[in-house]
A and B are shown apart, each in its own frame.
Chain A
């Protein structure tokens, strides 16, 4: 819609013209009468708003370090004296852990912040707190990620600490032992909540023996057997310059970042040696599985169906389609049908999961055992209806408006910014992505959206795993 392109510099003249255009749009849309009848006039409020639309003006650049040719995306943002670095070792997630070392990536992520050659665990943590430096690591299914935040004042210490972690992490026996005990406890605590039991059961049911079916925390006996040497070897093979991506945001210049890239990441080995994770091919015709959990106050369901990769041509159409079907808020098809109109559930939703080797449409719902069959039925009906008939013009326009108008909300913090820069590289979205993204949404046609609805929301083609008390059904 034209009035969304208004910019601050367009001046009063353009504003006047655009206000007329909005009025015309309303009349043509048949909502003129409605507009006259009500006292609450949203269009008028928006068109006469003193606060007008602005673009998020910053454009990232690519920086390449002089010595090791390490690349990074940078968004220089000087409103506060703070810096955020997000980095990732691609393909080093838990699915690539050795078969008999399941959980090693998580253990490494935890032990890496337990000190360096010069600083024991306590000295290291004291320093981080005194200098307000944050360093953290984590392993997802596909990648091993890290983050550093620092004030400009203490940036030299911060970068040096990260370099020291890469050169000589302490990996003290005492720290490793403590973290292994904490992980064993985490594996036990996973079994307490029906929602986390369901998550694990769903991964297993969907993926079976494929590495995506693993417990994301790892396996108890493998964790127990991990040695210092295993961790050192993991770092040598999994954290290298050739699988590294870096995003930087905040109070840092391109020249400074070049130096940081060489000094901090230049110490890493040139090449990684990773286990290959093959594509997963779940059988979405397997239907439903029930897990008995008689103590449940509610029955909970998780579903999974074929999705698309972030780089696939179907991505944007499916992204919009999913928003209509089960996306955020209370106005999705699922939420309207089961919650808003029937009061059967508190939450029912779907989302696109973009894992490298098995993109999915996923989601879930829950309800007390007496209402559960009805909710499940509504889900099935809505799924099949969406596949068969697709979405209306109005639904598509509304979804696009939402996705476009809410876009700037993700720029709230510099760590969000550096994360976005990281994923722009991982998904090859290009340096102009921040400026182009809304156009990518706009240009998807209604037909493309309804084509993907038919292609991905095929009748009954999803896996459903339920946990709870099924005696009454």
Chain B
């Protein structure tokens, strides 16, 4: 019997190295087109924070062939919803379009892969806009302010400590040539993944990818980034009080294996995260929210789709009258208990829950593009993506237990407590 498909993703490479991922979904005559560059804030030169993000903005301001106004007008005129985002690891440009408009989108995307033109005026305007964006998203949001400081402590010398936006001072100091350098260094076919998810077949996708991207040449070879190694067993703690904050909250983070650092561990850790703290049937929720009533919410999350290390994080909101410090101790106890009480039955049940709804992944082509795109851009092979369910199924109970023990014994822990002013 043929194995059930997870997303139904297929891929191929053009001769210039561009990877193309195709996910067929013929429910409606629509498509999501995403172009992922494997370049983000971690690739910025020291002190040039915000370059990747400012470049993302300037990519909408025109090329040698198409002005920014014309770019925008063409997409609007054709009902295309376009946007982009920058993260530590990637920058992605995405368009939701009627299938009949896909070629226009591809032509525009291919054009700005090689022909970006930044005028002094547009540079100055966009730098002002990203400065305002930072003020809106970070400086006007107390929990974002906290997490910026927290990530700094967590990652230290590793480039994951950087704010994607850059600091206010860094943004103001960026120059046009900083952005041009970043563009020329990283924006090329062999450093990108094109995702086409929707009403298209593989053959048409090959034809169109070749037609629009096939002739683009690589400017340079993009060297594989080498990331610093973090010492094991680091312990650190950040306490921050802010006047806007009304309620304490707690976060604990463990630097964890990713697909790129320790591929064999990621499936076991995914199961462990689900078992430990994902949802309202998880061990932490039952122990801390339902039984002990020390927390109003608690959850864990594990992310292995990173170019460098992955992250395992536990977040909790203390109940009324419980301090974050008390809750922190209770979380440690609950985690130990959950690892100790792990059983074959419980892990099998967790795996069943993870695998019960896979068919939903075939529903929404826009969601599939984002998920598969992020995985592919992190370096996951299509085979590994499509085999995800199988790989989770084949993890043994003992492997989950070992992965959990390794996580807490080797990674160390960085704790963060955000409090109202006057609480400490």
Contact = CB atoms under 8 A, between A and B. Distances in A.
Q: Do A and B come from one complex?
A: yes
B136 A347 contact: yes
Interface size class of chain B, counting residues whose CB lies under 8 Å from the partner chain:
35 or more
A225 interface: no
B402 interface: no
B142 A132 contact: no
B99 A51 contact: yes
Nearest to A323: B76
A340 B69 CA distance: 10
A297 B139 contact: yes
A404 B78 CA distance: 9
Interface string B12-25: 00000000000001
Given A297-B139, A409-B81, A50 B204 contact: yes
B286 interface: yes
A339 B129 contact: yes
A126 B281 contact: yes
Contacts, number: 223
A178 B140 contact: no
A129 B30 contact: no
A45 B107 contact: yes
Top 4 closest pairs, chain A to chain B, by CB = A405-B79, A297-B139, A343-B128, A132-B357
B388 to A, nearest CB: 16
Chain B at the A interface: SS class = helix
Contact of B100 (A42, A54, A125, A342): A54
Interface string A341-360: 11111110000000000000
Nearest to A332: B76
A66 interface: no
A81 B142 CA distance: 44
A343 B126 contact: yes
Given A51-B204, A191-B246, A406-B79, A330 B28 contact: no
Nearest to B360: A82
B280 A125 contact: yes
Contacts of A402: 76-79
Contacts of B96: 406, 409, 412
A79 B26 CA distance: 8
Contacts of B133: 346
Interface stretch (A182-190, A275-283, A313-321, A455-463): A182-190
14 contacts: A42-B74, A46-B104, A51-B204, A178-B290, A184-B320, A189-B246, A298-B132, A298-B135, A331-B76, A346-B130, A368-B132, A406-B79, A409-B97, A411-B27
A185 B317 contact: yes
Interface in A295-322: 295-298, 300
Contact of B132 (A122, A346, A411): A346
Interface stretch (B154-162, B260-268, B362-370, B406-414): B362-370
A125 B362 CA distance: 24
B281 A125 contact: yes
Contacts of B296: 178, 181-182, 185
A2 interface: no
Contacts of A184: 320
A192 B65 contact: no
A49 B101 CA distance: 8
A182 B280 CA distance: 14
Given A50-B208, A80-B362, A295-B244, A122 B76 contact: no
Contacts of B297: 182
B103 A151 contact: no
A300 B25 CA distance: 41
Given A53-B29, A414-B363, A193 B142 contact: yes
Contacts of A46: 78, 100-101, 103-104
Contacts of A6: 100
A48 B107 CA distance: 13
B279 interface: yes
Given A46-B103, A298-B140, A340-B125, A82 B78 contact: no
A350 B143 CA distance: 27
Contacts of B104: 42, 45-46, 49
A40 interface: yes
A398 B207 CA distance: 30
